[in-house]
Amino acid sequence: MIDLHTHSIFSDGVLVPSELVRRAQVLGIMAIGITDHADASNLDFIIPRLVHVSEKLNRFNQIQMIPGIELTHVPPPQIGPLAAQARSLGAKIVVAHGETIAEPVVAGTNRAALAADIDILAHPGLISEEEVKMAAERGVFLEISARKGHSLTNGHVAQLAGRLGAKLVLDSDAHEPSDLVTRQQAMKIALGAGLDETDFERMQKNAESFLA
């Protein structure tokens, strides 16, 4: 299992990166992205620290930590510049917080994110066909989410992605230990979204593209 979207105490998670990585390893997760919430106020604080700790932890652990960031509730015109800044600071995964129906995300966020240099559009909600085509063309992964609320539109995302050729990943969006998912749990989430075992394995292969 590879989980590319989690949070530590550097945003609204409850664990320091070391413990988050350790708990993930015990669950059989082979790689974990720590992608704390950021906007213009804290991007330059979070990413260097995650890069630093990933270098320390990856020397000693079997699990690989991948430093990243989730651009969250950012005004759409700022997404592109902040994504570029995140890359310059060393983020290996740039996630954009999509238009989930569980939160009042600004309309137009999905489109602006897909036009930027991001890797994953997280929990994109009732994403449009045009936006899914854009994700397919630009090679941006759409997320199937394990998180309560965000997961409500997984079926919609999976159906459009399958029909229009966009690639998917499945992530926990973990904020605390109980949010992390095992491979077996992730498979059930995929099946619940209308996907099958082949789709799940394909999502894991997609996630492997972030491994060093």
CA 155 to chain centre: 17
3-state DSSP assignment of residue 87: helix
- What does pTM read for this prediction? 0.97
Domain extents for the chain?
A: 2-208
Per-residue pLDDT tens digits for 35-64:
999 999 999 999 999 999 999 999 999 999
Find where tokens 């075992």 sit: 197
Per-residue pLDDT tens digits for 89-118:
999 999 999 999 999 999 999 999 999 999
In angstroms, the CA 114 to CA 98 distance is 10
In angstroms, the CA 3 to CA 64 distance is 10
Any alpha helices (H) in 58-100, and if so which ranges?
Answer: 76-89
In angstroms, the CA 28 to CA 89 distance is 29
Write down the CATH number for the domain with range 2-208: 3.20.20.140
